[in-house]
Amino acid sequence: MYEKDGEKYFIVDSHMHFWDASPENWVKGAENYAEGWIDCFQAYQGLGPPETHQTKEAFRKVSEDQLMKEVFEDGYVDKAIFQPTYLKEWYADGFNTTERNGALAEKHPDKFIVNTRFDPRDGDAGMKEFEDNVAKWGSKGVKLYTAEWNNGSRGYKLSDPEAYRFLARAQELGIKNIHVHKGPTIWPLDKDAFDVSDVDHAATDFPELNFIVEHVGLPRIEDFCFMATQEPNVYAGLSVVIGGLMYARPKFFAKVMGELLFWVGEDKMTFGSDYNIWEPKWQIEGFVDWDYPDDTYSDYPRVNVDTKKKILGLNAAKLYGIAVPVELQLKGEGQPAAQDDAQLVEHGANV
């Protein structure tokens, strides 16, 4: 919980990690990829306030104590949602697996939600592992990284028939939320790797599932927004938007937020720190204090305390069925809108 100027904010960090990218975990022969990946992450950390930058060693593997302190003690987070990323072609035990996250969650009851993942290219064995993980960790969400390398394959699409098989099974197993991270898929190389049209197809064909597009489809915010405005079950995951732009590029942050508030709307945007790229503390403090810098932004939707309460926690609480103490709920007409806020969608599409 974060309190400022008499207002109390319930905080759900809906996109964070507990990774091991230390050299001991690099796959032999793939060291340059393992190192390239984590160095790229650390360059993103460079976009946050200098006093939060870490040494290479500290960044690559965070201790359990440090995570608990930075996320919960200093970071105001009420509930944190682990989003796994496996990358086993580069990291021997995986970069950030369900098991590694889950083991930490077990030690700290009520602090975490353990999401799992699947990879449609893993076939029946992958399906079994997915089912076991859902049963073991009670997962209500999955994180999909479509650019993951897997046995010579350089990525997949959510609209692939095999992906549909997993999505259908996920729905049967009680999964509600599909977090999608569009990365630089490398097949086919002659197409745009960040294209989000596959999410559009899947969202249409699985209307009961929510699709939270992490990093708001960056670097294709425009394609993401055009899609999100038409699909009631598509959400904007703000990880990287707040962490990467709010401090380093405040003017662009204001514009990107303005566009998201216009096209997607405040009921469908969720905060995620992307820990350990960035700590939640400065992101939450800065976002609660944030407003458009001047009146050149006057044709974007306004933001108020309720907007920030929804984005920082109440929207994600609704997606995951997290109980919010009464004093932290919105005053007045109550809860954030449900997934098909028809008026909002129509507004975005017709303007």
Partner 1 sequence: MLTALATVRDPELDEPVTDLGFVSSCTVSDEGDVQVHLRLPTFFCAPNFAFLMVADAYDAASAVEGVRRTEVVLDDHFASDAINRGIAARSGFADSFGDLAAGELDELRADFVRKAVLAGTDRVCRPLLAEGRTTDDLALMTLGDVPPSAELERLRARRAELGLPAGDSSALLVDATTGEAVGVQALPLHLRKARLTRVNTEANGSVCRGMLSHRYSTRGEGQLEESR
- By the criterion CB under 8 A, which residues form the site for partner 1? 32-33, 36-37, 39-40, 43-44, 46-47, 154, 183-184, 186-194, 218-222, 225-226, 244-245, 248-252, 255-256, 259, 262-263, 350-351
CB atoms closer than 10 angstroms to residue 297: 16
Minimal distance, residue 3 CB to partner 1, in Å: 31
Minimal distance, residue 184 CB to partner 1, in Å: 5
In three-state secondary structure terms, 84 is coil
Q: Closer to partner 1 at the Cβ: 220 or 310?
A: 220
Q: Closer to partner 1 at the Cβ: 154 or 169?
A: 154
Q: Closer to partner 1 at the Cβ: 57 or 172?
A: 57
Tokens 């939600």 found at: 113
Give the β-pairing of 2-4 and 7-9.
Answer: antiparallel
Could you give the C-alpha distances from 328 to 2, 52, 132, in angstroms and in order? 10, 29, 35
In three-state secondary structure terms, 3 is strand
Minimal distance, residue 213 CB to partner 1, in Å: 14
Contact 112, 101 (CB under 8 A): yes
Q: Closer to partner 1 at the Cβ: 238 or 324?
A: 238
Minimal distance, residue 351 CB to partner 1, in Å: 6
Q: Closer to partner 1 at the Cβ: 12 or 261?
A: 261
CA distance 166 to 161: 9
Q: Closer to partner 1 at the Cβ: 33 or 164?
A: 33
Could you give the C-alpha distances from 220 to 19, 196, 268, in angstroms and in order? 26, 8, 18
In three-state secondary structure terms, 292 is coil
- Backbone φ and ψ of 180, nearest 5°: -110, 130
Q: Closer to partner 1 at the Cβ: 165 or 347?
A: 347
Minimal distance, residue 5 CB to partner 1, in Å: 28
Q: Nearest CA to 166 among 125, 223, 212, 216?
A: 125
CA distance 98 to 226: 32
Q: Closer to partner 1 at the Cβ: 184 or 325?
A: 184
- Backbone φ and ψ of 179, nearest 5°: -90, 120
CA distance 26 to 226: 39
CA distance 111 to 302: 32
Minimal distance, residue 218 CB to partner 1, in Å: 7
DSSP class of 9: E
Minimal distance, residue 243 CB to partner 1, in Å: 11
Q: Closer to partner 1 at the Cβ: 177 or 239?
A: 239
- Backbone φ and ψ of 305, nearest 5°: -60, -40
Minimal distance, residue 85 CB to partner 1, in Å: 14
Minimal distance, residue 197 CB to partner 1, in Å: 12
Could you give the C-alpha distances from 40 to 191, 210, 240, in angstroms and in order? 23, 29, 13
